[in-house]
Amino acid sequence: MAASLLLALGLVLLDAQATSAAAGFLTAPLSQEGRAGGRIQLHCEAVGIPVPEIQWWFEGNQPGDPSSQLWDGARQDRVHIHATYGQHAASAMSIEGLRAEDAGTYECRASNDPDRNHLTRAPRVRWIHAQASVVVLEPGTVVTTMDSVGSRVHMACVLNHSDVAVTGHQWLREGKVLKEDQLPDLRTEYQVDRANGTGRYSCVFLPSTLGEAELLVSGPPVVKAVKKSEHASEKETVTLVCKSDSHPPIDTWVWYKVVDSEVQVITNGSNNKFFVSSSETQTQLRIQDLDMASDPGTYACNGTNTEGTGHATITLRVRSHLAALWPFLGIVAEVLVLVTIIFIYEKRRKPDEPLDDDAGSAPLKGSTPLVNDKDKNVRQRNAT
């Protein structure tokens, strides 16, 4: 009896060993370097019976930094963890928008012990660990210079160092690319005309996370009319628009009308027909109930900032509300003239003379004498 019990217990132990196996790694995460603002991704795969669970942990580089578990959505949703469990376990952990505090040791842990997450009972099998180091490469410091040479402004950017090879440069104005190259230098330059080149510029060392800096080119405003000439009909409403992208921005806009070399300042609500609305980058003058006698002419918009002033002019033409009918009336007049000419011509033309009905039976002139001459010659030959 005792022998039978021992045999049964042995079979149970053998079956348990056949249906379980300790966790082990198929793929361990590899150490990586990433640029600040960039992205890194670590992979980990483990096998075992049953299929093990995978967790991700992190420990910072500073002394005393604790080891903490990472979850999907951690660090303000910059950490993303995706895991699959089939014949084996696989997990990928990625971090977006790398920062300096993301540098440290990342650990992939795997275990298939049933008590691995028990709050009071210690697991019989310890978690297995695989570590990888992540280094965050900080961008270099960009030193800028700006010099004025005559009417030109010379800008330069110098990157003090780079852990990654420079692959090119970009110069931008208000977010729009002005120049791009593929040079490996730590210095890049750009020139603009101060009269038309005021604004906010950026120099970027490529790849774009290596270094970036902004430069401000200041000067008097450059004011431009959206349309230099406007056409409208009387009684209608027209809007005149001026714009400026200068730096510093315009703080004062003034509209006026030029009359005989003199200016008439226009204020918002004047004459209950002029309305002005302005911002730092544009101004609008709306004129209601247009009058052909008083409203046509030259209007000017003047913008002022701390560096000076600038202006632009717009010519307003007002036409009669019947102007659209003139082409139609012209066509009608042409048709009437043409019909009149045809009618007069038909009235004055002479009628054709009637044809003589007997003309076809009259003998042809000259035909009979020829016959007579022939007969006469024949008679003469017979006589001889």
- The answer, yes or no, to whether residue 147 has pLDDT greater than 90, is yes
Q: Is residue 357 part of a domain?
A: no
The mean pLDDT of the chain is 85
Final residue belonging to a domain, choices 217, 244, 261? 217
Residue 15 pLDDT level (bands cut at 50, 70, 90): very low
Q: Are residues 43 and 126 in the same domain?
A: yes
Residue 196 pLDDT level (bands cut at 50, 70, 90): confident
Judged by average pLDDT, the poorest of 211-220, 251-260, 361-370 is 361-370
pLDDT score, position 155: 96
Final residue belonging to a domain, choices 283, 302, 319? 319
Q: What is the pLDDT of residues 149-183, one digit of tens each?
A: 888 999 999 999 887 889 999 999 988 999 999 99
pLDDT score, position 10: 41
Q: Are residues 131 and 86 in the same domain?
A: yes
Residue 14 pLDDT level (bands cut at 50, 70, 90): very low
Q: What's the rounded Cα separation, in Å, for the pair 336 and 285? A: 45
Q: What is the pLDDT of residues 223-256, one digit of tens each?
A: 999 999 999 989 999 999 999 988 889 999 999 9
Report which of 89, 69, 70 is spatially closest to residue 80, judged by C-alpha positions.
Answer: 70
Residue 11 pLDDT level (bands cut at 50, 70, 90): very low
Q: Are residues 152 and 239 in the same domain?
A: no
Q: What's the rounded Cα separation, in Å, for the pair 202 and 188? A: 11
Q: What's the rounded Cα separation, in Å, for the pair 170 and 180? A: 4
- The answer, yes or no, to whether residue 370 has pLDDT greater than 50, is no
pLDDT score, position 260: 85
Residue 303 near residue 223 (C-beta atoms within 8 A) = yes
Other C-beta atoms closer than 10 Å to the C-beta of 27 total 14
Which amino acid is it at 308? Answer: G
If one counts the domains in the chain, the total is 3
- The answer, yes or no, to whether residue 268 has pLDDT greater than 80, is yes
Residue range 261-272: mean pLDDT, rounded: 90
- The answer, yes or no, to whether residue 77 has pLDDT greater than 50, is yes
CATH number (domain holding residue 93): 2.60.40.10
Q: Are residues 196 and 231 in the same domain?
A: no
Q: Are residues 170 and 194 in the same domain?
A: yes
Q: Are residues 81 and 183 in the same domain?
A: no
Q: Is residue 179 part of a domain?
A: yes
Q: Are residues 203 and 289 in the same domain?
A: no
Q: Are residues 28 and 103 in the same domain?
A: yes
Q: Are strands 168-173 and 67-70 parallel, antiparallel or unpaired?
A: unpaired
Q: Provide the residue range defining the domain that includes 230.
A: 223-319
Q: What is the pLDDT of residues 288-305, one digit of tens each?
A: 999 988 999 999 999 999
Q: Is residue 354 part of a domain?
A: no
Q: Are residues 258 and 301 in the same domain?
A: yes
Final residue belonging to a domain, choices 137, 161, 188? 137
Residue 229 near residue 314 (C-beta atoms within 8 A) = yes
Which one has a higher pLDDT value, 383 or 117? 117
Q: What's the rounded Cα separation, in Å, for the pair 45 and 28? A: 7
Q: What is the pLDDT of residues 301-349, one digit of tens each?
A: 999 999 899 999 999 999 886 666 667 778 888 888 888 888 888 877 7
Which one has a higher pLDDT value, 130 or 16? 130
- The answer, yes or no, to whether residue 75 has pLDDT greater than 60, is yes
Q: Is residue 255 part of a domain?
A: yes
Other C-beta atoms closer than 10 Å to the C-beta of 377 total 10
Q: Are residues 120 and 149 in the same domain?
A: no
